Amino acid sequence: MPESGKKFFYTNGTDQQIEFETDSNGNTLRVWHIAWGIRKGIKKIE
Long-range contacts made by residues 6-14, C-beta under 8 angstroms, separation at least 24?
none
Which pLDDT tens digit goes with each residue over 18-38? 999 999 999 999 999 999 999
- pLDDT of 40 > 80? The answer is yes
46's enclosing H/E stretch is: none
Binned at pLDDT 50, 70 and 90, residue 43 comes out as confident
The model scores a pTM over 0.75: yes
pLDDT at 4: 94
Can you tell me whether residue 17 is helix, strand or coil? Answer: strand
